[in-house]
Amino acid sequence: FDLIEFLIPQYIKEGKAHLSIAIGCTGGKHRSVTFANKLSKFLRREQYHVITEHRDIEKDI
């Protein structure tokens, strides 16, 4: 998560209030979901407000 840790303070310094991060994989049910959940957990521990949406989790592969 080094890149995210570096970028978020830069966005805040520029006065930006929202940051969207999209993560994808073939199918959208396993790797991307796991990574998005881990990233969300990490960011919440860092006291950021996080909304996680698994857009394709209900789609048939």
Place of tokens 């857009």: 55
Q: What is the pLDDT of residues 1-60, one digit of tens each?
A: 999 999 999 999 999 999 999 998 887 678 999 999 999 999 999 999 999 999 888 877
pTM, rounded to two decimals: 0.83
Q: What is the DSSP letter of 59?
A: S
| H-type alpha helices, the chain | 2-13, 31-45
